[in-house]
Structure 1
Amino acid sequence: MKVFKLPDLGEGLPDATVREWLVREGDSVAADQALVTVETAKALVEVPSPYSGTVEKLYVAEGETLQTGQPLVGFTEPASGQASDKTREKTPEKSKSSGEDSGTVVGKIESGSVALAPEQRPMSTRSRNATPAVRALARQLGVDLSRLHPAGSRFSEAEVRAAAGGHPPPAREAAPAATREPAPAPATSAEPARRAMALAMSRSRDLVCPMTLCDEVDISDWPKGTSTTLRLLRAIAHAAASEPNLNAHFDNDTLAPQTPVNIGLAVDAPRGLFVPVLKDIAGHSDGELLDTIARFKQQADEGGIPQSDLQGATIHLSNFGSIIGRFATPVVLPPLVCIVGAGRSHKAVLPHKGKARVRKLLPLSLTADHRAVTGGELARFLKALKEHLES
Structure 2
Amino acid sequence: MKLFKLPDLGEGLPDAVIREWHVAEGDTIAAHAPLVTVETAKALVEVPAPWGGRIEKLFAAEDETLDVGQPLVGFAEEADRRERDRHHERAEPSKETADAGTVVGRIQAGGGSIGAELAPQPLTARRATPSVRALARLLRVDLDQLTPAAERFTAEEVRAAAAPTRAESGSTLRPAAQQKDDTRSPARRAMALAMSRARDQVAPMTLLDEVDVHSWWGKESATLRLIRAIEAACRAEPNLNALYEDDRLTPASGVNLGLAVDSPRGLFVPVLRDIGARTDEELLQQIDTYKRQARESGINREDLQGATILLSNFGALAGRFATPVVMPPTVAIIGAGRTVESVVPIDGKPAVRPLLPLSVSADHRAVTGGELARFLAALGTALSK
Compute the TM-score of the two structures, normalised by the length of structure 1.
0.81
Contact 1:143 1:160 in 2 (8 A): no
Q: Which residue of 1 aligns with 2:42?
A: 42
Question: Structure 1: how far apart are the matches of 2:276 and 2:362?
Answer: 22
Tell me how far 1:137 sits from its aligned partner.
2.2
Question: Structure 2: how far apart are the matches of 1:358 and 1:145?
Answer: 59
Q: Which residue of 2 aligns with 1:175?
A: none
Tell me how far 1:159 sits from its aligned partner.
3.5
Question: Structure 2: how far apart are the matches of 1:345 and 1:164?
Answer: 40
Q: Which residue of 2 aligns with 1:256?
A: 250
Q: Which residue of 1 aligns with 2:142?
A: 143
Contact 1:134 1:160 in 2 (8 A): no
1:169-225 per-position Cα deviation (integer Å, ceiling 9, x unaligned): xxxxxxxxxxxxx99952148622111111111111111111110001111001643
The correspondence for 1:219, drawn from 213, 224, 246, is 213
Question: Structure 2: how far apart are the matches of 1:34 and 1:289?
Answer: 32
Question: Structure 2: how far apart are the matches of 1:210 and 1:183?
Answer: 32
Question: Structure 2: how far apart are the matches of 1:216 and 1:311?
Answer: 31
Question: Structure 2: how far apart are the matches of 1:263 and 1:346?
Answer: 26
Q: Which residue of 2 aligns with 1:315?
A: 309
The correspondence for 1:330, drawn from 306, 319, 324, is 324
Q: Does 1:239 align with 2:233?
A: yes
Tell me how far 1:370 sits from its aligned partner.
0.9
Which is helix-richer, 1 or 2? 2
Compute the TM-score of the two structures, normalised by the length of structure 2.
0.82
Tell me how far 1:121 sits from its aligned partner.
5.9
Q: Which residue of 1 aligns with 2:5?
A: 5
Distance 1:298 1:249, change over 3 A: same
Distance 1:110 1:267, change over 3 A: farther
**Which stretch of the first structure deviates more once superposed, 275-284 or 123-132?**
123-132
Distance 1:167 1:52, change over 3 A: farther
5+ residue gaps, structure 2:
83-108, 170-175
Amino acid at match of 2:123: M
Tell me how far 1:145 sits from its aligned partner.
4.7
Q: How does 1:25-174 map to 2 (within 5 A)?
A: 25-79=25-79, 119=119, 122-124=122-124, 126-128=126-128, 131-137=132-138, 141=140, 143-149=142-148, 154-156=154-156, 158-159=159-160, 161-165=162-166
Question: Structure 2: how far apart are the matches of 1:226 and 1:377?
Answer: 29
5+ residue gaps, structure 1:
83-108, 169-181
Amino acid at match of 2:77: E
Amino acid at match of 1:30: A
Contact 2:5 2:68 in 1 (8 A): yes
Q: Does 1:210 align with 2:204?
A: yes
Distance 1:389 1:230, change over 3 A: same
Question: Structure 2: how far apart are the matches of 1:386 and 1:17?
Answer: 43
Contact 1:368 1:378 in 2 (8 A): yes
Question: Structure 2: how far apart are the matches of 1:183 and 1:363?
Answer: 32
**Which stretch of the first structure deviates more once superposed, 262-271 or 351-360?**
351-360
Q: How does 1:259-278 map to 2 (within 5 A)?
A: 259-278=253-272
Partner SS, residue 38 of structure 1:
strand
Q: Which residue of 2 aligns with 1:294?
A: 288
Question: Structure 2: how far apart are the matches of 1:360 and 1:378?
Answer: 24
**Number of residue pairs aligned between Structure 1 and Structure 2:** 351
1:69-107 per-position Cα deviation (integer Å, ceiling 9, x unaligned): 22211222344698xxxxxxxxxxxxxxxxxxxxxxxxx
Contact 1:351 1:357 in 2 (8 A): yes
Question: Structure 2: how far apart are the matches of 1:389 and 1:46?
Answer: 41
1:154-180 per-position Cα deviation (integer Å, ceiling 9, x unaligned): 135643542544789xxxxxxxxxxxx
Q: Which residue of 2 aligns with 1:342?
A: 336
The correspondence for 1:191, drawn from 185, 194, 197, is 185
Structure with the greater alpha carbon radius of gyration = 2
Question: Structure 2: how far apart are the matches of 1:338 and 1:26?
Answer: 51
Distance 1:306 1:163, change over 3 A: farther
Tell me how far 1:63 sits from its aligned partner.
2.3
Tell me how far 1:136 sits from its aligned partner.
2.8
Q: Which residue of 1 aligns with 2:85?
A: none
The correspondence for 2:353, drawn from 337, 355, 359, is 359
Distance 1:25 1:81, change over 3 A: closer
Contact 2:136 2:142 in 1 (8 A): no
**Which stretch of the first structure deviates more once superposed, 29-38 or 141-150?**
141-150
Contact 1:250 1:337 in 2 (8 A): yes
**Which stretch of the first structure deviates more once superposed, 317-326 or 227-236?**
227-236
Amino acid at match of 1:19: R
Tell me how far 1:309 sits from its aligned partner.
0.4
Question: Structure 2: how far apart are the matches of 1:338 and 1:237?
Answer: 13
Question: Structure 2: how far apart are the matches of 1:311 and 1:61?
Answer: 29
Tell me how far 1:153 sits from its aligned partner.
5.9
Overall identity of the aligned pairs, in %: 55
